[in-house]
Structure 1
Amino acid sequence: MLRACVIDFGKGWERHVPLVEFSNNNSYHARPEIIHETTKKIVQIRQGLQAARDRQRSYANIRRKPLEFQVGDSVMLKVSPHKVAQKLELPKELSNVYSTFHISNLKKCVSKESLVIPMKELRLDDKLNFVEEPVEIMDREVKQLKQSRIPIIKVRWNSKRGLEFTWEREDQIHAKYPHLFSNISLASN
Structure 2
Amino acid sequence: MLRACINDFQNGWSKYLHSIDFAYNNSYQTSIRMTLYDALYGRPCRSPTCWLDKEDKVLLGPEIIAETNNKIQIIQNRLKIAQSCQKTCADSGRKSSKLQVDELVLLKLSPMKGIQRFGKKEKFAPRFICPFSVAERIGETTYRIDHPLAPEKIHDVFHVSMLKKYKPDSSHIIQWNDLYLEPNSSYQEQPTRILNNKIQQLRNRQMEFVKVLWQHHSTEEATWELKSEMQKSYPHLLI
Q: Shorter-chain-normalised TM-score: which range?
A: 0.5 to 0.7
Closer, same or farther: CA 153–116 of 1 in aligned 2, 3 Å: closer
DSSP-derived class of the 1:102 partner: strand
The structure that is helix-richer by fraction is 1
For structure 1, the 5+ residue unaligned runs are 29-48, 183-189
What is the count of residue pairs matched by the alignment?
A: 147
Give the alignment's TM-score, normalised by structure 2.
0.46
- Tell me which residue corresponds to 1:96: 150
Structure 1 outlier segments of 4+, above 6 Å: none
Closer, same or farther: CA 132–89 of 1 in aligned 2, 3 Å: same
The CA deviation string for residues 134-171 of structure 1, in whole angstroms up to 9 with x for no partner, is: 31241222251x565432221222x3243331010110
- Tell me which residue corresponds to 1:180: 237
Q: Is the 8 A contact 1:137 1:180 kept in 2?
A: no
Identical counterparts, % of pairs = 19
DSSP-derived class of the 1:23 partner: coil
Give the alignment's TM-score, normalised by structure 1.
0.55
For structure 2, the 5+ residue unaligned runs are 1-15, 30-34, 52-77, 111-141
The structure that is strand-richer by fraction is 2
Paired with 1:6 and 1:109, the residues of 2 have a C-alpha distance of 55
Closer, same or farther: CA 179–60 of 1 in aligned 2, 3 Å: closer
Q: Is the 8 A contact 1:137 1:154 kept in 2?
A: yes
The CA deviation string for residues 98-157 of structure 1, in whole angstroms up to 9 with x for no partner, is: 34233144333354413554455x2x236261432231241222251x565432221222
- Tell me which residue corresponds to 2:197: 139
Q: Is the 8 A contact 2:146 2:156 kept in 1?
A: no
Q: Give the number of the structure with larger relative contact order, counting CA–CA contacts within 8 Å between residues 6 or more apart.
A: 2
Paired with 1:59 and 1:126, the residues of 2 have a C-alpha distance of 34
Q: Is the 8 A contact 2:200 2:208 kept in 1?
A: yes
- Tell me which residue corresponds to 1:78: 108
- Tell me which residue corresponds to 1:16: 36
DSSP-derived class of the 2:44 partner: helix
